[in-house]
Amino acid sequence: MDAARYARIRDLFLAAEELPADQQQKFVRSHCNGDDSLFDEVMSLLAEHDAEFAKIEGESATPVSAPISSPTQIGSAFGEITKTGPAGSDLTRETDPGTKSGPGTKSGPVSKRSGDTTRRGDSQNQTRRGEIEALPGRGRSGGSAAVTRHGANRTHASPRVKQEERRKHQSTSNQIWARRTRNSRRRNSGWLWLAALLPTALIGWWTYREVESMIEQSIRTELRGVINSVAISADRFLGDKATLVESWSREPNLRAAVIELNELAETGQSIDELRSSKQIGRIHQQLKQLSGVEDVKFIVWNDSFRTLASWSEDRADIGKPVHPSGAANLARVMAGETVIYGPERPAADLPGFDPSAEQPVMAVIVPIHDSDGRIIASLMVRGIGIYEAFNAVFSDVIEVGQLDAFAINRDGVMLNASGRALGLATRGLLDVGPNDIAANLRVSDPGYLLSRTNQGAFQRQFRPVTVAVAGAVGIRPDIQTAPYSTYYGGSVVGAWRWLDKWNMGVIVEQEADQAFAPVRVVRFAFLLLGSLLSLTAFLAATKLARTSTAEHAANHPLSRYDIQEQLGSGGMGVVFKAVHKQLGRDAALKVLRGDRHSAEDGLRFDREARLAASLSNPHSVQIYDYGRSEEGEAYCVMEFLRGLTLNEVVARSGYQAIGRMLTVMRQVCDALAEAHSMNLLHRDIKPQNIMLSLDPSVGDWAVVFDYGLAKPLEPDAGVYQTSETIWAGTPMYMAPERFRQPGVMDPRSDIYSVGCVAYYLLSGRPPFIESDPESLFALILSEHPIGIAIHRGEEVPKEISELVFRCMSKRPEDRFGTIGELCQVIDQLRMKYPWSIDEAKVWWGHHGGN
């Protein structure tokens, strides 16, 4: 589909949309001049168009002030286009008060400058516009000046409702669960009236079973949310630590010292000469500077698994082979993996460790590459507080949810100091002391041996592991509400997951008595009901109806969240800021709109959630939970993103440093690399869909969100597929081939969009700015953007310009073949154009405020 055909489809749609439904087909047929394909496309759009929804969305557009440097925004195929002018100009857009959003949008695009109003577009555009106005039902629109923002941002990053309307939306959203409860009461009142005629014993028995089932479902839902949260937190923590130490291993001075030390060993230097080499001191000094820890500890092994360097002052371990227990980990590292060691309690004969340390040892082991990219050594770093922070990940869950949470290894040994285990050990109710729990206590069912503390520690090793440990080690993630015995002999319910990447499992447990306390209350109520046999059947039915209603409201899947405010509204759902009542964690809660509960809308909503949930990269927005209530209400709980979009970053400080652009683009590529590896295209990469925040440990942290337009490269019968007769996405960041063949899926289209975002960061402007759709499409299809140096007013290194413009090549085959290939080039350039944590902190200190 070219720009001319697109314009023809749009114009016929706008003209026919105003006619009565029974006249539309005849009108379109008469203006298609025998083109059946054109007729089918226009009629398809008219069939899918919801005029009432378009009117509502158009009336709810948010007035905003347009910054001088803001980019062209095209919210949908027929949405608005805002053009920015040179510095000092004030370009706004006049819209009709009755403007509609979506395919039915109608507007008279005009621009203001210094108080004079002129119509945009050349004579060709005016002629075409006049032809359409001559069609039946097509008139000119006029109205007061206003800048509107429509559907370009479809997630919680950009509110789409007026600030003065938020209170109204918030109060309405808080009634969701109450409204569902009232509906449930009306549905249940009928059978309760009939059930009141049955014997009181039968009513009580039925009520008790139903309440017990609902409470069990509530426990299951709660455990699922907590175990998902713990697994995500532990995985993200370990990933962050691994990434941090990997970045240290690439530091030029440290890497050079390791390479030199390895060369000394290979040339046959004696052990004494190696121990006295100055490179060991350089490595230690570099790690102190990078970690900020004076007592940082390290060991370097060569590819023969012999020690080349360590933090030990006497350097007695230099030249000695690694302990046999660590050979497997070093083999993985030499194969290119990053390994998290521990938590473990080192054996007394393990060189380089102090077995008398009270806390278990936890370290990161990373490969060291030479200048040719060959792995020549392994670097282990510890003593930087990894274990303490790892233990805190589980302690936070205990404090918030009053649960027991801990990690285990494949042997079923508890890796952290569980809060409940600490409490029991302190009171002498466990067969180990408080300081001997972590990396020592085997999570097995002690049975009757728990009371025999003299033999408990020994006998525990021969007892079977608990149900949760067996399930986790067997990589069978599950949630069990049937009580089972845990490591201290108590009866619990729990959930577990295995983190295969880190070779550990996580378990969350709650005492069964505490979990099922409401059941005992219901049982007591049942007994009390038996003493009220003198009451009439009607009074009994009324009492049961009220009880059922309260329980139903309390167990609604979304009742666990406290709604704070409405963040935005899109074509499919409404997004709220919410707080999990038990965990105290902020989240973005997306609920399918009340007028979008058709089967097709539900499938589309499911598709977006399933595609986004399949991604686990920390630079992609995370999905915490998804499901439907008993009434069929679809919802999705997402990570709540804080920070600024790249669009806001540029609006606040103009074009960005080269090093910062490379850092941000590398993180975006990480997210896309995972998506592409799963045959999934994002299709809407743009500054408004990338959130940037400050992470104190790594500096700038970018997260890609809004996978609403994501689509698999190959059709999947198990996933609902959308069929497009028009382009999906934001045109100014879309690859040329997407305009020509919207249905063709190619990962290099995302690479083009990445290049456009890089251009935007370096120049402070989008690559193409044009108010007329046809002119914009023509520019993207045939023209090259203005040089970056012209916008910046300074020279830009040739290698940087070549990187950006190669991504933005018109022909896909001229771009980088894969995201991985682009990542390699960016990694090489980042060494030459660094962007430090301190630089990021300075920027956020100056520009990051509200």
Residue 818 covered by a domain: yes
The more confidently predicted of residues 716 and 746 is 746
The residue with greater pLDDT, 550 or 136, is 550
**86 preceded by cis ω (within 30°)?**
no
* pLDDT (0 to 100) of residue 825: 95
Q: Are residues 486 and 635 in the same domain?
A: no
Average of pLDDT values for 445-457? 53
Residue 361 has pLDDT above 50, yes or no: yes
Q: Is the dihedral of CA 322, 324, 329, 331 positive or negative?
A: positive
Please determine, for residue 173, whether its predicted confidence score (pLDDT) is greater than 50: no
Q: Is 810 annotated among the ligand-binding residues?
A: no
pLDDT of 100 strictly over 80: no
The b-or-e profile of 169-202 (16+ CB within 10 A means b, else e) is beeebeebbeebbeebbeebeeebeebbeeebee
202 part of a folded domain? no
Of 570 and 379, more confident: 379
pLDDT at position 576, please? 87
pLDDT > 70 fraction of the chain, expressed in percent and rounded: 66
Same domain, 455 and 597: no
Task: Assess whether pLDDT exceeds 60 at residue 783.
Answer: yes
Tally the domains of the chain. 5
CATH number of the domain at 409, please: 3.30.450
Q: What is the CATH number of the domain that holds 175?
A: 3.30.200.20
Q: Could you tell me which of 178, 213, 206 has the C-alpha nearest to residue 544?
A: 206
- Model confidence pLDDT, tens digit, residues 803-813: 999 999 888 99
Question: What ranges in 582-703 are assigned the alpha helix state H?
Answer: 599-613, 646-653, 658-677
Q: Is residue 396 part of a domain?
A: no
Same domain, 679 and 824: yes
pLDDT band at 284; cut points 50, 70, 90: very high
Residues 752 and 659 in one domain: yes
408 and 295 co-located in one domain: no
Locate 58 and state its tokens: 């158009």
pLDDT grade for 138, boundaries at 50, 70 and 90: very low
Question: Considering 488, 511, 534, which residue would you say is the last residue of a domain?
Answer: 511
**Euclidean distance between CA atoms 570 and 588, whole angstroms:** 14
If you average pLDDT over residues 747-760, what whole number do you get?
92
* pLDDT for residue 744: 67
Residue 203 lies in a domain: no
Give the mean model confidence (pLDDT) for residues 301-317. Answer: 89
Query: Residues 362, 285: one domain?
Result: yes
320: number of Cβ within 10 Å:
15
Q: In this structure, are 114 and 228 located in the same domain?
A: no
Boundary of a domain, candidates 384, 414, 431: 384
pLDDT of the residue at 204: 67
Identify whether residues 372 and 413 lie together within a single domain. Answer: no
Structural domain harbouring 169:
163-186+222-238+516-641
Q: Do 147 and 129 share a domain, yes or no? A: yes
**Residue 196 falls within a domain, yes or no?**
no
Please tell me the predicted confidence (pLDDT) of residue 24.
86
Q: Is the pLDDT of residue 518 over 80?
A: no
| CATH number for 275 | 3.30.450.20
Same domain as 311, residue 178: no
Asked if the model's pLDDT at residue 839 lies above 60, the reply is yes
Residue 393 lies in a domain: no
pLDDT of residue 552: 55
Q: What is the mean pLDDT of residues 716-724?
A: 41
pLDDT of residue 496: 94
Average pLDDT over residues 517-536: 65
Residues 668 and 622 in one domain: no
Beta bridge partners of 339: 365
pLDDT category of residue 217 using cuts at 50, 70 and 90:
confident
Is residue 562 situated within a structural domain?
yes
**Do 663 and 730 reside in the same domain of the chain?**
yes
For residue 831, give the CATH number of its domain.
1.10.510.10
- pLDDT digit string, tens, across residues 540-560: 555 655 555 555 555 666 778
Interval 505-522 mean pLDDT: 84
| The predicted structure's pLDDT at residue 597 | 66
**Residue 494 pLDDT greater than 70, yes or no:** yes
Percent of the chain topping pLDDT 90:
28
Quick one: pLDDT at residue 127? 35
In a domain, 452, yes or no: yes
- The residue among 205 and 635 whose pLDDT is bigger is 635
Contacts of 484-489 with CB under 8 Å at 24 or more apart are: 485/445, 485/447, 486/404, 486/443, 486/445, 487/414, 487/421, 487/441, 487/442, 487/443, 487/444, 487/445, 487/446, 488/420, 488/421, 488/424, 488/429, 488/430, 488/446, 488/450, 489/445, 489/446, 489/447, 489/450
Of 463, 485, 511, the position where a domain reaches its end is 511
